[in-house]
A and B are shown apart, each in its own frame.
Chain A
Amino acid sequence: GQQVQQSPASLVLQEGENAELQCNFSTSLNSMQWFYQRPGGSLVSLFYNPSGTKHSGRLTSTTVIKERRSSLHISSSQTTDSGTYLCALEPGGSAKLIFGEGTKLTVSS
């Protein structure tokens, strides 16, 4: 089965609402990263977060290794947050990242 599963697959919000994106993994974890991708665009790193909680503006990433999950919280969403959010994990120090299929977020005004 898939080693990295993201949920939900898609999410529609009104501007100002909060979003909670989940990433569950079934393998050992050396590192976890979150990326943002605009439609037809490249990937931009949001967080490198192998464990614990990190903040960046309206974004918060929390990785709990024992529970094999990582989450991305977006507070007070804006229309410019629309796009796809991908998590990727690196098992066992190989530097080979395995990506989830992403959560497509649409924020409407």
Chain B
Amino acid sequence: DMKVTQMPRYLIKRMGENVLLECGQDMSHETMYWYRQDPGLGLQLIYISYDVDSNSEGDIPKGYRVSRKKREHFSLILDSAKTNQTSVYFCASSLQGNTLYFGEGSRLIVV
């Protein structure tokens, strides 16, 4: 059905708590991405995954880690969330860097 699904869509966490954002796709795309979007900064790449256990840092990886144990799932983990990680997080997938398909976004507020 060509869909990228993100969970949860909305999340409020206290500073120092752990955060798990999950992303799934049903297109067997080998490449998956995590971006964050902030006003005035646009979309910034956090991590890219080229396939299972083949992950690479993007432009702003500090404070984040990722996990890709199955091709269809890509998780973003924040160990000890900080207030400056309040943002909207987008997952995307593509076939060999071609057209990107985005999820609906996960809005995270860290208080």
User: Contact residues of A with B, CB < 8 Å?
Assistant: 30-31, 33, 35, 41-45, 48, 86, 88, 90, 93-102
Contact at A95–B104, with CB atoms within 8 Å? Answer: no
Chain B 80-111, CB-CB to A under 8 Å as 1, else 0, gives 00000000001010101111111111000000
Q: Which of B36-50 contact A (CB under 8 A)?
A: 40-45, 48, 50
Number of B residues near A (Cβ < 8 Å) is 26
Q: Which residues of B contact A (CB under 8 A)?
A: 31, 33, 35, 40-45, 48, 50, 56, 58, 90, 92, 94, 96-105
Known: A42-B103, A42-B105, A44-B102. A93 touches B42 (CB 8 A): no
Instruction: Say whether A43 contacts B90, CB under 8 Å.
Output: yes
Cβ-closest chain B residue relative to A98: B45
Extra contacts, 7 of them, besides A95-B94, A99-B43 (Cβ < 8 A), are A31-B98, A43-B92, A45-B99, A88-B43, A95-B96, A99-B42, A101-B40
A48: B residues at CB distance < 8 A: 98-99
- By a CB distance below 8 angstroms, the chain A residues around B94 are 95
In the assembled complex, which residues on chain A have CB atoms less than 8 Å from the CB atom of B102? 35, 42-44
Determine the residue in chain B with the shortest Cβ distance to A93: B97
